[in-house]
Structure 1
C-alpha cells in the first residue's frame, strides 16, 4: 500500500502529462533526476516516491508542498505562495556524507527569512558527531537564547535536532516533547501540543511559566526539528551545589530511618500492651 503523499505525487504527474507540460513520464523522471524505470514502479503503485525526487519535483514543477504532504490547497503553487515554502538544503563532506549545520543566534533571523537559498545555508558552520544516532537522517543544531525554556534549557546551550519531514508532522510530532520550530521570520524552541489533525495548528509552550502558550498555524510552519541532544557549558562551581543536595538527601534519609525505628518501637509497645490486656481479661474471666 503506497502512502497518501505518493498518491498525490502521481496525481501531479498525471496532470502535467495531460496538460502537455511534460511530453512523457520519461521526461518527467529525467527532469527530477530520477530513473524512469523506478518512476514507472511508483506510478504503478509498487513503491513510494523517495524524498529526494519528491523535493526535486517540488522545485522543478512548483508542486504545492501543502497539497503533497497535507492534501490541502491547490496542486501547484502560485507565485505569491512560493515565498512560504523552501526545500531543505544540506551540506555533505568529501565522502558525500551529510554534515550537521549549526545555526547561531546572529544567523537565526536570516535562517528564518531565507527561502530556498543554498548559498546562505552553505555558509553556516558545519560539523559531524560520532555515534550511530547521527549517521542516519538530517540534523541541525541551534543556539538557545532567552530564558523561555529554563530551567531545562538555558541561554548559551545548544540543541542538536533531527529533521521532521512535513508529511510526518501530524503523526510524528509528539505532545509535550521539545522541538525547534522555524516559522515565517522566527526560530523558537518550545514544547509542543500537536493539534494539526483537528485544528491545523501547534500549541507552543514554554517551560518558564512566565511565558504564555500560543498557537502557530500550519501555514506558518516552515521546518520542524526534534530536539535530540543538548550541549551545555560545564559549570565547575556546581560541585558545592551537588554536595549540598546530597547532604540534604542524606539528612532526609536519616530522618526517615529514625521515624521508621520509632514506629517499630511504638508498634512493639502496642503489641505488648495488647498482650497484657488480653491476659488481664482472661484472668478476670477465670475468677
Structure 2
C-alpha cells in the first residue's frame, strides 16, 4: 500500500525547491540536522520551531503549510509604508505635494499632521503616467546618488503600500523615523526585518535599516532637473569626429 504523504510535508518540500535549496542546505539553514529527507517523506513531523522559522524567514503562513488556508504568505511585521496623509484639489483629484530639503527635515516628525501638509506646495501633472496612484516630490540633498541624481534635483515617487511590494535594485524615497533618504533598496537575504539602502556614489557605504523604522516608501519613477548644462567644446568635438567617421564609413561602402 502506497504511503500517503502529509500535506505539510509536501508543502515543506515545495518551499525548499522554490528556494533552490538542497535537502542538506535547507536543513542547515533551519538547524534541523543534516537533511530534510525524513520531513519530506512524512517520517518526521515538522516541529513548532521549524514552522516559526519558515514564518520568520520566508513569510510562510502556518495555516497554508498545514492545508488550512489558500494564502501562502503572510506579512509578519505589518510593513505598512503607505502614505499617512494624501491631499486633493477642489475637484477631489489627488495632488502631488512637493517636499523641499528644509521641509524634508521635519517630514518624519509631522508625517500624520494634516495641517503641516497644507503648508506644502501642491500641483497636478496631466499625464496618464500619474493617474490612479499617489505621487510625492522630494528635493534631493547631497551627492550620494551621483551620477544619476544630482544635488538639489527633485525626484517624484509613487507610493508603495507595503514593504513586501518593494523590488530589489529600484531607487526609493525612504522615510525613516528621523530622516528622508533617496537610495537603491535591496532586501537582505534570509531576513524579513531589515533592508539595505545603497548609494550610487561608491564613496558612500551601504546601510542596513530595520523595516519597522520605515514609515513611508516611494518608488522613484521620474525626476525634475533644472539648469541643464550645454555641451562643452570637447563633447561637441567628439560628436563631430564621430559624425565624420560615420560619413567616411558610408562613403567606403558606396565605393565597394
Q: Give TM-score, length-normalised by structure 2.
A: 0.62
> Equivalent residue for 2:204?
211
Which of residues 219, 222, 229 in structure 2 aligns to 1:226? 219
Going from structure 1 to structure 2, the CA distance change for 1:209 and 1:253 (only over 3 Å counts) comes to farther
> Equivalent residue for 1:202?
195
What is the CA–CA distance in structure 1 between the aligned matches of 2:198 and 2:81, rounded to whole Å? 25
Deviation at 1:200, TM superposition (A): 1.9
Higher relative contact order (CA 8 A, sep 6+): 2
Going from structure 1 to structure 2, the CA distance change for 1:95 and 1:239 (only over 3 Å counts) comes to farther
Alignment check: 8 A CA contact 1:102 1:141 kept: yes
What is the CA–CA distance in structure 1 between the aligned matches of 2:155 and 2:223, rounded to whole Å? 5
Which of the pair is proportionally richer in helix?
1
What is the CA–CA distance in structure 1 between the aligned matches of 2:138 and 2:120, rounded to whole Å? 11
Gaps of 5+ in 2: 1-73
Q: Deviations over 1:71-116 (max 9, x none)?
A: 348xxxxxxxxxx999611111111111000100010111012242
Deviation at 1:187, TM superposition (A): 0.4
> Equivalent residue for 2:239?
246
Matched, 1:128 2:124: yes
> Equivalent residue for 2:134?
138
Q: Deviations over 1:97-140 (max 9, x none)?
A: 11000100010111012242111112111011111111211100
Q: Give TM-score, length-normalised by structure 1.
A: 0.55
Alignment check: 8 A CA contact 1:85 1:115 kept: no
> Equivalent residue for 2:161?
165
Gaps of 5+ in 1: 1-68, 74-83, 262-287
* Aligned Cα root-mean-square deviation (Å): 3.0
Give the aligned length: 179
Partner SS, residue 191 of structure 2? helix
